[in-house]
Structure 1
Amino acid sequence: MNPTATHLRTIALHWTDLRTALTTTGTTTWPPAGRMSDYLTALDHADEQLAEAARWQAAYNRQYLDRDPNQLGVTRPPLSLTIVDTMRAVEAALTQCADDIARTAQRPPMAMPTARRAAYASQREADIAHGDRQRQAVLARADLADPRRWRHTGRRSAPHAALWLLARIEFKPGPCRRLTHDEARRIGIVAEGAAERVERALDIAAQRVALAQACACGGRIDMHGGEGRAPVAHCTGCGRVWSESGMAAA
């Protein structure tokens, strides 16, 4: 399957999930911060730090749930700023890409017929000319209103842009010529970056990163997670494994 098409479908299909996630606070960052990072910065006493952090988090959660929302003090934001930033960046990138592709690949609307004052040899010829202008006007209005036409005003959402670009990649019918190699490549780059942002914000993609912190044995520590899974770190040297639930034996 065309990877660009897959990325564009990912954006269109998961846009509703992003809207839902706006009012939640469970979105994760990668690499995970907080307990996991603290744990890895002090491997010698990681178990004690992890347990203490878990107790603190549980106490905070209870305190938050017991709070009166009208009380003064620190409260959780009403919207997830990570999701807001993701949606704004993705929408801006996709609509700008669609603007640029439409500017070069989309055919201008058909021109409306102009009124003609010409002398006709007979009424029949005049009627035929009038009928031709009417048909041209109908075709021009239909072409202008074609829902397959990308517009620089009005409906300019990220999912609409993703689906319009998808139609161009898949050579669907519409008021556009076939894309050039450079145009298809441009869409591919934008779609890949946008889909990666969406997947990372929703934590639906597998993630892997090498941490700057080295293991006590000197080996590199790799962290794996994403796709809704809790992060797990392991040393590529001695084989030790760490997770939020504790350290496993090598």
Structure 2
Amino acid sequence: MTTAATNLRTVALHWADLHEAVGQPTQLGAFGLGLRGYLARLEDADRAEFNYDRAHAAHLRSQERDPIQIGVRPVPVRLHILDTMRAVEASLHGTADQIAADVQRAPMPFAPSNWPAADRERRNQLARADAADPRRWRWTGRRRSASYTALWLLARIEGKGGPFRALTVVQLEQIGVVAAGAAERVERALDIAAQRRTLEQRHGCGGAIDVHGGEGRPPLAHCTGCGVVWAEGVIAA
């Protein structure tokens, strides 16, 4: 449960960071993009070159636009961030829908019409308050954000109060798996998780290339054969 709680908090805390990152311009340069970008360039240089040529051509076309044309130019969107947000939202919302269907208690019924008026009014007030309980998960209306959904699931695994039955072991495990996947996606998209990876390609000496990075640090690569080290702007033997 502790791991699931940590992962759900990671999603909730960094959701605003994803919103901010989705509109930021993509940086050019290997290490400037962090470990994820560096690996992408090492393993797929041909595609990166093609994408750069295509982006450069689009930039040149944009410069040909008549300056007297009025209109808002589109803001560049980082598609991998947007894809991450959509995937995380879908997984968390789907899980919350299922968990709520299983553990959320139905609202208290209204009083029968043959009850005394005073008792009927008290019962109906309680029923209305129970139905409107803000802790309830709702399937209709505006969808909640992924951060809200993560916190709602966190409250369920921590057994917080509300119109809910306790979760079963299977339900706790289900939330744990989804939370781990969501947190991993968020951390990878923002490049805030420590990562280590061995590239498929080999160094010229035949040794394997290990890359370390993430957590906001510039990536560092080294050859396990000859010991050469690559850092930002530095190659050391």
Distance 1:14 1:25 in 2: 19
- The correspondence for 1:237, drawn from 215, 225, 228, is 225
Q: Shift of the alpha carbon at 1:130?
A: 1.5
Structure 1 runs not aligned, ≥5 long: 42-52, 117-125
1:77-123 C-alpha deviation (Å, 9 max, x unpaired): 6211111111111001001000000010111111122322xxxxxxx
1:171-212 C-alpha deviation (Å, 9 max, x unpaired): 111111111000000000000100111111111111111100
**Counterpart residue number, 1:45:** none
1:165 partner amino acid: L
1:134 counterpart SS class: helix
Q: Shift of the alpha carbon at 1:157?
A: 1.6
Distance 1:38 1:84 in 2: 22
Structure number with greater Rg is 1
Q: Shift of the alpha carbon at 1:16?
A: 0.8
Quickly say closer, same or farther: Cα 1:38–1:165, change in 2 above 3 A.
closer
- Assess if the C-alpha contact under 8 Å between 2:92 and 2:178 holds in 1: yes
**Counterpart residue number, 1:32:** 38
- Assess if the C-alpha contact under 8 Å between 2:7 and 2:179 holds in 1: yes
Report the RMSD for the aligned CA atoms in angstroms. Answer: 2.9
Q: Shift of the alpha carbon at 1:35?
A: 5.4
- Assess if the C-alpha contact under 8 Å between 2:36 and 2:191 holds in 1: no
Q: Shift of the alpha carbon at 1:37?
A: 4.7
**Counterpart residue number, 1:12:** 12
- The correspondence for 2:136, drawn from 122, 144, 149, is 149
Distance 2:220 2:165 in 1: 49
Distance 2:44 2:93 in 1: 40
Q: Does 1:88 align with 2:86?
A: yes
Quickly say closer, same or farther: Cα 1:91–1:141, change in 2 above 3 A.
same
- Assess if the C-alpha contact under 8 Å between 1:223 and 1:232 holds in 2: yes
Q: Which aligned pairs between 1:99-248 and structure 2 lie closer than 5 A?
A: 99-116=97-114, 129-153=116-140, 154-248=142-236
Q: Shift of the alpha carbon at 1:70?
A: 6.0
2:84 counterpart SS class: helix
Q: Shift of the alpha carbon at 1:219?
A: 2.4
1:32 counterpart SS class: helix
Quickly say closer, same or farther: Cα 1:155–1:145, change in 2 above 3 A.
farther
Distance 1:12 1:230 in 2: 25
Distance 1:210 1:76 in 2: 38
1:144 partner amino acid: A
**Counterpart residue number, 1:79:** 77
Residues paired across the two proteins, number: 215
1:126-163 C-alpha deviation (Å, 9 max, x unpaired): 7xx22111111111111111111111123422111101
Distance 1:90 1:35 in 2: 25
After TM superposition, the score normalised by the length of structure 1 is 0.76
1:208 partner amino acid: R
After TM superposition, the score normalised by the length of structure 2 is 0.80
1:30 counterpart SS class: helix
Q: Shift of the alpha carbon at 1:71?
A: 3.8
**Counterpart residue number, 1:49:** none
Structure 2 runs not aligned, ≥5 long: 28-32, 66-72
Distance 1:81 1:222 in 2: 28
Distance 2:194 2:15 in 1: 19
1:211 counterpart SS class: strand
